[in-house]
Amino acid sequence: MSLERGTEQITRVLLWRHGNTDWNAEQRVQGQLDVPVNDRGRAQAQAAAAVLARHETQLMITSDLSRCTRTAAPLAELTGLTPERDARLRERNFGDWQGLTTPEVRERFPESYARWRAADPDPGDGIESIADLGKRVSETIRQAAERVPGGTVILVSHGGAIKYGVAALLGWPEEMLPTVAPVQNCHWVDLMLQPSYGWRISAYNVGV
């Protein structure tokens, strides 16, 4: 069923962050390393799926990393959808920092860590720039919406990918980004595309 406001069809895209992992709890940089969800993450996914299944979703796409595909599994069971995988929904590549805890990063890479803390969009050490991250994720959002005009899409992704993908899609200025909180585990962002208005954000960091 399509969403309609007046005579216009509204396309909806929900960006859902994966469930908790042991590395989240350890404050260890995951980036694009394939870290699985833990028991808490699986329970989060099950609870969120019961809520998200209320939407009449036509398409579900996940990051190809297992913490996203495993998060998507309970919703796939409830909806009967077969999730597609798209590497463009992966988390930001954190280069030399991947696998390290935050204190280890601060000790080994003090200059780039300081730049990152100061919201430098390209801090170095092989870390993917905010511009590149936002471009690949926002493109995926647009293309997914084009496939189901007037319908609903769920994209299962990662905290940084969701935040910066949404920012790029909506044209948020760079200086605004540090004021936007990260999306929590198994929470989501609700976007709406209406022909007369374009893209708008309906809800941010929503959870069970």
Residue 2 has pLDDT above 70, yes or no: no
Q: Quote the tokens at residue 129.
A: 């720039």
**Residue 88 among known ligand-binding residues:** no
CA distances from 176 to 127, 144, 163, 171, 192 (A): 21, 26, 12, 10, 21
User: How much is the average pLDDT of 41-61?
Assistant: 97
CATH-assigned architecture of domain 3-93+129-206: 3-Layer(aba) Sandwich (3.40)
pTM of the model: 0.94
The answer to whether 70 is annotated as binding is no
Catalytic, out of 4, 26, 91, 128: 91
Q: What is the pLDDT of residues 108-166, one digit of tens each?
A: 999 999 999 999 999 999 999 999 999 999 999 999 999 999 999 999 999 999 999 99
Average pLDDT for 54-58: 95
Among candidates 99, 94, 30, 40, which has minimal Cα distance to 65?
Answer: 30
Residue 55 a catalytic site member: no
- Domain borders along the chain are 3-93+129-206, 95-127
Q: Cβ–Cβ contacts within 10 Å for residue 203, how many?
A: 12
Say whether 185 counts as a known binding-site residue.
no
Give CA–CA dist 128/24, Å, rounded. 20
Other C-beta atoms lying within 10 Å of the C-beta of residue 205? 15
Catalytic residue among 4, 8, 18, 84: 18
pLDDT tens, residue by residue, 12-35? 999 999 999 999 999 999 999 999
| Mean pLDDT computed over 198-208 | 96
The yes-or-no answer on residue 174 being catalytic is: no
Query: What pLDDT does residue 5 have?
Result: 53
Identity of the amino acid at 159: G
Annotation-wise, does 24 bind a ligand? yes
